[in-house]
Amino acid sequence: MFTLNQLCCERDGRDLFAPLTLGVAAGDYVELLGANGSGKSTLLRTLAGLHSQFSGSYETVPAVYQGHRLGLDDLLTPVENLLWFAGLEGATLSLDRILDALQETGILTEAYDNCAAMSAGQQRRVAMARWMLSQRKLWLLDEPLTALDIEAQAVASRIIKEHCASGGAVICATHQPLDLTDKTTLTLTPQLAETAS
């Protein structure tokens, strides 16, 4: 799915973490750990192509990216949001598939409400439906469990597990380790001062 080769993200000319070398294949779940400010989000943004200050190299397939900002339009309903996203990917989705995905993430009853009227957790659930409906195999998730209740966290774990089982790969930055048995843990450590120079 993707390989990192001595990749080190930079911000304002400062290296964020010690260089990473890693290969991730289909079916892998990678948990990205590290203290606040250790560069987890920046690494995911780099892999998504949103951050271009880095040294080393990486190769990746097109990915689903879930940042801190969910990427849902307040003025649209979940169904409309998901249709827009599918259109962005160049796919056409049937309404049934969308409603199935919303059912699975437990937000079906709000399928036709405006996203503006939803709580943070409910919006997260809509975002989860979006990962499921995407055709892309690699998911880059930045703290996907934020604002989710216990039940929704279990749903998120299950969705991620199923995606890995069906040949996808997930890299997930989180502070709450997911309930998955088979995982690779990648911990970002700060670049040591003497090696940075």
Partner 1 sequence: MIGSLLRREWQILRRAKGAVINPMAFLFLSATLFAIAAPALVIQQTSQGASAAGILWTLVLLTQLLALDGMYRRDFDSGLLEQLLVTAQVPFVAVLSRIFMQWLSTGFIIVLASPLLAVLLGLSVETLPATAVALLLGTPTLSLLGSIGASVTVGFNRGGVILALLVLPLFLPTLIFGADLVEAAQAGRDFMPQAYVLGLISLGALALAPFATLAGLKISLEMQ
Minimum distance from CB of 189 to partner 1 (Å)?
Answer: 24
Minimum distance from CB of 96 to partner 1 (Å)?
Answer: 17
User: Maximum CA pair distance of the chain?
Assistant: 57
Counting residues that bind partner 1 (by CB under 8 A) gives 30
Question: Which of 17, 29, 65, 139 contacts partner 1 by CB under 8 A?
Answer: 65
Distance CA 177, CA 173 (A): 9
User: Comparing C-alpha atoms, which of 34, 39, 36, 44 is closest to residue 15?
Assistant: 39
Cβ proximity to partner 1: between 69 and 96 the closer is 69
Question: Which of 10, 31, 89, 113 contacts partner 1 by CB under 8 A?
Answer: 89
Question: Which of 63, 101, 138, 159 contacts partner 1 by CB under 8 A?
Answer: 63
Question: Which of 10, 31, 73, 104 contacts partner 1 by CB under 8 A?
Answer: 73
Residue 121 binding partner 1, by CB under 8 A: no
Question: Which of 6, 21, 61, 74 contacts partner 1 by CB under 8 A?
Answer: 74
Residue 128 binding partner 1, by CB under 8 A: no
Question: Which of 53, 153, 157, 174 contacts partner 1 by CB under 8 A?
Answer: 53
Minimum distance from CB of 84 to partner 1 (Å)?
Answer: 5
Q: Which two tokens stand for residue 129?
A: 């439906």
Residue 49 binding partner 1, by CB under 8 A: yes
Residues 6 or more apart from 162 whose CB is under 8 A from it? Answer: none
Question: Which of 86, 107, 164, 188 contacts partner 1 by CB under 8 A?
Answer: 86
Return residues touching partner 1 (CB under 8 A): 48-53, 62-65, 67-76, 80, 83-90, 134
